[in-house]
Structure 1
Amino acid sequence: MARTKIDYGIDLGTTNSAISRMENGDAIIKKTDTLKDTMPSSVYINKKKAIQVGDSAYNALKRDKLKAMKTWNDSNSNSYIEFKRTMGSDKSYSSSNLGKDLTSEELSAEVLKTLKSFVKDENINSIVITVPAAFKNNQKEATREAAKLAGFNHIELLQEPVAASMAYGLDTDKKDGYWLVFDFGGGTFDVALLKVEEGIMKVIDTEGDNHLGGKNLDFAIVDEIIIPYIQDNFAIDSVLADDTKKQILRNAMKFFAEETKVALSFKETHNILSDLGDLGEDDEGEEIELDITVTQENITKALSPVFQKAIDISKNLLERKNLKGLSLDALILVGGPTFSPVLRKMLEAQICKPDISADPMTVVSKGAALYASTVNVSEEVREQTRDKTKIQLEIANESSTVETEEFVPIKILADKTEGEIPDKVFAEVTRGDKAWSSGKVEINTIGDIVEIQLNEGKTNVFDVILYDDKGNILESEPSSFSVIQGSKIGSSTLAYNFGIELKDRATGKIRFRTIKNLEKNQPIPAVGIKNGLKTQKRIRPGKDADFLKIPIYEGGHEAEGTRAIYNEHVTDIRISGAELPSLLPENQDVDLTISINRSEKVMVTAYFPYLDFTYETTVERTISSIDTEWLSNEIRKAKGSILELKQDGKSDDVKLQKLESDLNLLDKSFENNKNDVDAKSEVLNNLRKSLKAIDELNERTEWPNLEAELKERFYRLEKANNDLGDDNSRSLVNELRLQLEEVIKIKDVKLGNILLEEINNFFFQLTMIYQLIGMLRNFNEKFGDYSWSDSNRARQLVNKGISKISENPDTEELRQILISLYDMLPPNEVPSGDDTVLVG
């Protein structure tokens, strides 16, 4: 039977993946080829160029990493894992056996193909794939690309914490209160706060770290337990002194660490044992062996600092919502590392006791399948799979509900049906347990409504049987539908503020500005609009060299008004003269609309009122690339800022010392991993945090200067208003005076900067005519100092402008004269700055 709902969900994990399908109202895990619920997200390419995925690939990976210790060369490895952490980047994985490089998306596609192969009874065209809530736009687009490479035609993305809460919500008796989903996976960490009212779930905040997960736990065990043991028992100074050899050693030991981490999640001690000859020789030619007994005390010491990072993120999220651990009605665990008793004890001590009723390894995949049962297959895929010889139906049922009765419209789609449709058609809807039936209800192409009754707290499956007026059964499609009763997911939310870079009218600074209705935690789908943006220069039709750009960014809580480096670049929308139908003069309006659908696909629309022209584009996959030299320079500048703060002598010494220490560690990490894309991304993420902390310290020394500038600019505005203002402007100035007094009282730098912009804007508007007059008089007095392209025409325009000044001039008239004059100046004689971005 052709499916009308997607019904399949995949948890595409960093270290393990799983696929689930809806069967008779239940989300069922499809077993792997080794009859497990999950499969390692590992790929291996053998010498015959055959691709292996899963357990066999993971075993080959372990062999490769151990083998590398004997030659201290890891370049010939054909085994891969944890490539999810480099999705959307320019990272490539070399395969000597294939003779080419592979992208993260190509490797992920192999994992998806293998998961799909575990379904033997039908072909899958549509899929729901889960992604971390903290995934950036380019990572989501990379996931879509991997799914396309795996042969899926209809792809929906779902945030992992939302999937987990959906599966948990169906099975739990808790239908009200706050839930915290703590998702500690193999390579990423997410935390989501949900508010649940009578089973209706709403995500109200999310946070996460794309560089925190089981991988960090494994290396903590390597660095704190295994390598110290080897140092104590063998001579490896030369290995530790060589960054390349040290990393090969750490990668090989990671497998022993992972085994230890898993074992100590379920027992008190674990022995790490290696076979003689597996690990190569030390500096003195002695065979390295491992024989370590690891206790819960040992593992607690190693793992606690890593787990603490995740707990701190969770506590910060709760604090900004004015909640405490005791406010939570459920703390839901997701991901293999959450089996750790170390973590569970820490969570209980610092937040609240976790709810362990859901399986952390499968809850995301099952939740994805449940969500998939609520999503219609795309019309394109549906058309490919229709059996038009059967009577085609449209069944408009609610996919999930907290009610026990629902109204379901059913109608015949005559235009989609090729077989004969009797004059009279009756439908009977029967619940799967056979305990309820609607009786026969006549339906047609207009449709009728059937009232259904639901069993509480489960997925209800209903069969739909059609009859003619003689009682003969008619074949129909679809012939069933399902409704989840007892919980209803409101929607996913935006994990970041979505916005653009704009040039500020008053200050000329280019800063991030959030688009209204695209703020962090806004439910999706969402549509944001920003009207009245201005172009800086004219764009000639047909000229590709003439263009404006709309730089789109994702930013965190403190994104508004910040520099670009603080935020994640999504893409630059470039609109050139080649796309425009006619000349777009300088200083014209642009109305921007950005829409984000439920799968977080982004569409950008720019409307130009002057041209009555609309430009539309969909944000496609972009490749993230971090330039090594640029990152090195940014770290150097950050360290320079620390030095300036120390010389200033007004900063908090304790915080400054910690910042300096953090930056030194970050710099060392960068130096050791300059060629590692994942490591550079993590360094940049941590650098952003340090830069924000530096700004906070700078704000404390910045206030005296800002206060003086605020007073100076306000007195200038006040004087201009006395000379030029009216009753309306006087009222506005009085409002600004009250704001100024309040800002000075609380010494708030951020509010002060905002107020400074407002004062400057108002002054600019109030005195614009005089500024234009001043520019024209300057051109008149220094006419010969400029290199005019048409001196006679320029002289005529200047004379016209001077004449207008004496005739009660109009602002727009003078502005148009000045625009024409600027067009006759060479580039080096006009104001500088990025004139391709919009002004707002």
Structure 2
Amino acid sequence: MKTVNFGIDLGTTNSLIAKYENGLLEVFKNPIGQKQTLASAVAFRGSRILVGDKARDLLEKDPLNVFTCFKRKMGTTDRYFAKSINKDVSPIELSAYVLKELKNFIHTGEELHEAVITIPSSFDTIQSNATKTAGQQAGFKEVYLLQEPIAASLAFANKNNLELSDTKKWLIYDFGGGTFDVALLEINQREMNVLDNEGDNFLGGMDIDNLIIEKLLVPKLEPILNETKLLDKFKEPNNPLQKLYFELLFRAEEAKKELSRFETTEIDIDYPDKDIYTSVEVSRADFNNLLAPLVEHTINFSKKILNNNNLANTDVEKIIMVGGSTLIPYVREQVQNNLKIAIDTSVDPTAAVGIGAAYYAGTKISTLKQEKISQPTSTTTAATSEKQPLVNLIFEKNTKDAEELIAFTLHKPTQGFYRITRKDGGYDTGLVTLENNVNVFVDLLEGQVNTFNLKIYNTQQEVLFSTDDIHINQGKYNIQGQLLPNDICLEIDDIQYSVTRLEAIFNKNTVLPLKKTIYKSASKTILKDSDEKLQINIVEGDGNGLPSSGLSIGYIEITGKQLEQDLIKGTDIELNISVSESRDIDVDIFLTSCDQEFSNSFKPTERYISSSKMENEIRVVTQKIEQEKAKPEYAENYELLQKFKTIEHALIELQIQLTLLADTDVTDAKFKIDNEKRSLIQQFDLLTRHKELDNDIEEYKTSVLAVKQSLSENNSEYYTAQFNKVIANEKSFINSGNKYLIRSKIEELRVIRNAIFTADESNFIGPFFHYKTLDNYPDQQKANMLIAEGDKALENKQYKVLKQVVYQLASMLPDDTPKTSFNNQDKTGLS
């Protein structure tokens, strides 16, 4: 089997391509200039397209035709207008140009049909699909995505030839040019696994450069240029001051590097258009003050990942620092001082991700269709001849040893032979007499993936079973699957609370790929040929959060006009949902009452950000915060009130930023605001959820005690078994934080208690006396007749009749349930 071999770090500021094959690693250099990295920049000059350093060098002279940092807008509808070609270009197209240029680094003459391309671990599904699409536009037939912290960890582990005697935990702290990621890893002598990750797609070195301009340079330049709101004018398209802005970006980046080595630096500013030549002195202390909030943000992410996994800092052996921004001394100092964990800077922070991608690619089996080799007509396999495979195979996928065990057992006694061969022909057992249990140590080639073929023959040496899927990676660490960075959820109707809510289908940190079949009920009737809709909305976000805090990544709408029969309320709806390793989503829907199937495959590459929608969402949440703050139970809970106020003030600040944001703004400001808004809404939801959760847990515990009391009086084995089934794994679902799951348990306990109660009809004596005292029956005459009938039944001990009287009296009472506006139009149609 062929391995992919080529890995690409598609970075915000710089990109890199490397290859790992047969134990050899090669980082390719640009044929022009012999640099390992390629600037992620594209320039349009008439009919010419320049990519890399040449494009970046034109930024000062021709900023309207040069584009950088477009990775931050991957997965959005934003476009860049290139004046030279009079055309809009997308972030996907610009990324494809960079990938095509990286192909030119390959001097071996081989064609690249597939590659591993890295993405930040916090990239959502839409951003991931956009990256994959860029690879396809660059000419790759197959693109495999790899999260950047995983790539960095592979680079570190494989570079250092680790000899571990026990299991260790590491943090990968990846502070790059445009994004920040932190991942928690577990590693031992054989394998490495990612346990959790967090990150921010809008936090990187370019934000530091912009802070230098905003906080240190603009205040000095405004009086010299006799300008106000200079920062806003820098961002306006076609404004002559844009040239100055891009010059300042160069100077800011240079100053950042200088201040990583020296205590002070001079930033020279040259603006011939207004005959201005000046310089600004910046000290390392000023620079560190600017950095402080950004670095604190990264440290908070690191603390969060430790807290979420119930780890102390002493449980983590080291923090591996990667990404260009970790070269700044202040970053390293603050991370070590705050987290109290030793930091490791032994890998090249600018190349680690690309090198790790190559290691991964060197062990990744290609999925491209190879030319099929015809088999003898007498050959059959387990897959074609019988439902159950003939063989159960066991082998280690990763090893540091020079030989490894391949073991297999036969599912039924078979006489004949087996043969194991290595793909390169360097190992061959020959024909060996078959036994029911076989253990064979095979020789391995060092530092590469060893592929073996196993064949099983009958006594006439006809092939009964054959497989080439035995791949053993020798000498290098690999990762067994990537983690889902967020819950993948389904939006459903919560009829009890008259809202829609999210239900997690796949949980965060589950290993991809994933597949599941779930069954829901229709929460409304949709008549054939009507305009009513069934809405299947797949959302990426916190499964316990509000639907508005998530990101819709797949939407199917089925109207009455598409139905061949009526969709009846309460009937089953079957959904088969799968997520590939590269985050493609497939949804198959079967409507039982209509006997119809609907399918869709989602590979969304763009999402639209509406400023007005964001403002409305912020306004709704701030109103909810005000309502929470006004509740009497919080009057003296100063800590919680302060948390509410902090979130509210942050939301109001975002609202102000949105108001001040010009319609023509070409930066990624609105995406950063949207990112921050979603995070704040999640924080608010978490605070209120805990309050509701505490109430639900208390109600659950009360319900458990009530059922136990009923069981002590009833002593029914059947209901005891039902009760034990409900409370099984109690600790797990109470600690899940899922209020809907706990409420479902409360409802199940209520059903059991009611069943126990109604099983003994004499229990209805008490409720009967209660209903006799009420005087709010709309039809009092009918109620009096029923009460008289109940008195008679009680006198004659006819408890079955008394039970029916109680039911009828209860049904006559007025409905005090408040009316809601949760009508059919608000419902998804699923419950």
TM-score normalised by the chain length of structure 1 = 0.73
Question: Is the partner of 2:497 in helix, strand or coil?
Answer: coil
Contact 2:41–2:68 (CA under 8 A) maintained in structure 1: yes
Picking from 268, 275, 286, the partner of 2:270 is 275
Picking from 191, 201, 218, the partner of 2:209 is 218
Correspondence list, 1:740-755, <5 A: 755=742
Amino acid at match of 1:549: Q
Q: In structure 2, do the counterparts of structure 1 residues 242 and 622 end up closer, same or farther at CA, with 3 Å as the change threshold?
A: closer
Aligned to 1:669: 657
1:500 is displaced (CA, Å) by: 0.6
Paired with 2:642 and 2:361, the residues of 1 have a C-alpha distance of 51
1:624 is displaced (CA, Å) by: 0.7
Contact 1:650–1:701 (CA under 8 A) maintained in structure 2: no
Contact 2:153–2:356 (CA under 8 A) maintained in structure 1: yes
Correspondence list, 1:745-824, <5 A: 755=742, 759=746
Paired with 1:7 and 1:449, the residues of 2 have a C-alpha distance of 31
Amino acid at match of 2:346: S
Q: In structure 2, do the counterparts of structure 1 residues 228 and 324 end up closer, same or farther at CA, with 3 Å as the change threshold?
A: farther
Paired with 2:112 and 2:397, the residues of 1 have a C-alpha distance of 21
Picking from 659, 681, 691, the partner of 2:647 is 659
Q: In structure 2, do the counterparts of structure 1 residues 726 and 397 end up closer, same or farther at CA, with 3 Å as the change threshold?
A: closer
1:371 is displaced (CA, Å) by: 1.3
Correspondence list, 1:123-138, <5 A: 123-138=111-126
Q: In structure 2, do the counterparts of structure 1 residues 193 and 737 end up closer, same or farther at CA, with 3 Å as the change threshold?
A: closer
Q: In structure 2, do the counterparts of structure 1 residues 462 and 611 end up closer, same or farther at CA, with 3 Å as the change threshold?
A: closer
Aligned to 2:177: 186
Amino acid at match of 2:255: T
Contact 2:76–2:608 (CA under 8 A) maintained in structure 1: yes
Q: In structure 2, do the counterparts of structure 1 residues 145 and 240 end up closer, same or farther at CA, with 3 Å as the change threshold?
A: closer
Aligned to 2:615: 632
Aligned to 1:529: 517
Question: Is the partner of 1:221 in helix, strand or coil?
Answer: helix
Pair 1:16 & 2:14 matched = yes
Paired with 2:113 and 2:727, the residues of 1 have a C-alpha distance of 62
1:162 is displaced (CA, Å) by: 1.2
Paired with 2:521 and 2:320, the residues of 1 have a C-alpha distance of 48
Number of residue pairs matched by the alignment? 705
Could you give the per-residue CA deviations for residues 282-338 of structure 1, whole angstroms, max 9, x where no partner exists?
xxxxx4334234343232222122121111101110122122333222322221111
Correspondence list, 1:345-494, <5 A: 345-351=333-339, 352-380=341-369, 382-383=370-371, 400-406=398-404, 438=427, 441=430, 452-454=442-444, 458-459=447-448, 483-494=473-484
Correspondence list, 1:18-97, <5 A: 18-32=16-30, 33-48=32-47, 50-65=48-63, 77-97=64-84
Picking from 297, 300, 314, the partner of 1:326 is 314
Aligned to 1:263: 258
Paired with 2:401 and 2:595, the residues of 1 have a C-alpha distance of 48
Question: Is the partner of 1:61 in helix, strand or coil?
Answer: coil
1:698 is displaced (CA, Å) by: 5.1
1:751 is displaced (CA, Å) by: 7.3
Question: Is the partner of 2:511 in helix, strand or coil?
Answer: coil
1:44 is displaced (CA, Å) by: 0.8
Aligned to 2:576: 593
Aligned to 1:814: none
1:202 is displaced (CA, Å) by: 1.0
Paired with 1:754 and 1:426, the residues of 2 have a C-alpha distance of 50
Question: Is the partner of 1:63 in helix, strand or coil?
Answer: coil
Q: In structure 2, do the counterparts of structure 1 residues 588 and 304 end up closer, same or farther at CA, with 3 Å as the change threshold?
A: same
1:195 is displaced (CA, Å) by: 0.9
Paired with 2:267 and 2:578, the residues of 1 have a C-alpha distance of 53
Contact 2:490–2:504 (CA under 8 A) maintained in structure 1: yes
Could you give the per-residue CA deviations for residues 141-192 of structure 1, whole angstroms, max 9, x where no partner exists?
1111111111111111111111111222212325430021111122111111
**Percent of matched pairs sharing the same residue:** 28
Amino acid at match of 2:71: K
Amino acid at match of 1:548: L
Contact 1:163–1:364 (CA under 8 A) maintained in structure 2: yes
Q: In structure 2, do the counterparts of structure 1 residues 123 and 486 end up closer, same or farther at CA, with 3 Å as the change threshold?
A: closer
1:364 is displaced (CA, Å) by: 1.2
Paired with 2:260 and 2:752, the residues of 1 have a C-alpha distance of 66
Paired with 2:536 and 2:405, the residues of 1 have a C-alpha distance of 46
1:132 is displaced (CA, Å) by: 1.0
Question: Is the partner of 2:482 in helix, strand or coil?
Answer: coil
Question: Is the partner of 1:151 in helix, strand or coil?
Answer: coil
Could you give the per-residue CA deviations for residues 422-445 of structure 1, whole angstroms, max 9, x where no partner exists?
xxx9978779xxxxx5479579xx
Could you give the per-residue CA deviations for residues 658-708 of structure 1, whole angstroms, max 9, x where no partner exists?
33432232123222335457322221222233334444565698799x699
1:345 is displaced (CA, Å) by: 1.0
Pair 1:687 & 2:674 matched = no
Paired with 1:440 and 1:707, the residues of 2 have a C-alpha distance of 64
Contact 1:134–1:210 (CA under 8 A) maintained in structure 2: yes
Amino acid at match of 2:97: E
Paired with 2:696 and 2:306, the residues of 1 have a C-alpha distance of 34
Aligned to 2:385: none
Contact 2:693–2:737 (CA under 8 A) maintained in structure 1: no
Aligned to 1:74: none
Aligned to 1:111: 98
Could you give the per-residue CA deviations for residues 117-159 of structure 1, whole angstroms, max 9, x where no partner exists?
2224111111111111111111111111111111111111111
Q: In structure 2, do the counterparts of structure 1 residues 564 and 700 end up closer, same or farther at CA, with 3 Å as the change threshold?
A: closer
Q: In structure 2, do the counterparts of structure 1 residues 211 and 387 end up closer, same or farther at CA, with 3 Å as the change threshold?
A: farther
Question: Is the partner of 2:16 in helix, strand or coil?
Answer: strand
What's the RMSD between the two structures over aligned residues? 4.8
Return 337-346 or 660-669, whichever deviates more.
660-669
1:207 is displaced (CA, Å) by: 0.8
Paired with 2:726 and 2:20, the residues of 1 have a C-alpha distance of 63
Q: In structure 2, do the counterparts of structure 1 residues 536 and 356 end up closer, same or farther at CA, with 3 Å as the change threshold?
A: same
Question: Is the partner of 2:481 in helix, strand or coil?
Answer: coil
Could you give the per-residue CA deviations for residues 333-387 of structure 1, whole angstroms, max 9, x where no partner exists?
221111111111112112223211211111111111221122232343x349x99
1:201 is displaced (CA, Å) by: 0.6
Aligned to 1:419: none
1:513 is displaced (CA, Å) by: 0.8
Contact 1:427–1:442 (CA under 8 A) maintained in structure 2: no
TM-score normalised by the chain length of structure 2 = 0.74
Aligned to 1:567: 550
Aligned to 1:823: none
Pair 1:307 & 2:261 matched = no
Paired with 2:215 and 2:278, the residues of 1 have a C-alpha distance of 14
Return 599-608 or 214-223, whichever deviates more.
599-608
Paired with 1:122 and 1:700, the residues of 2 have a C-alpha distance of 57
Amino acid at match of 1:44: A
Contact 2:121–2:181 (CA under 8 A) maintained in structure 1: yes
Paired with 1:292 and 1:215, the residues of 2 have a C-alpha distance of 20
Aligned to 2:187: 196
1:91 is displaced (CA, Å) by: 0.6
Paired with 2:401 and 2:79, the residues of 1 have a C-alpha distance of 50
Question: Is the partner of 1:34 in helix, strand or coil?
Answer: coil
Amino acid at match of 1:88: G
Amino acid at match of 1:367: G
Question: Is the partner of 1:570 in helix, strand or coil?
Answer: strand
Paired with 1:461 and 1:714, the residues of 2 have a C-alpha distance of 59
Return 483-492 or 236-245, whichever deviates more.
236-245
Amino acid at match of 2:125: N
Paired with 1:196 and 1:509, the residues of 2 have a C-alpha distance of 44
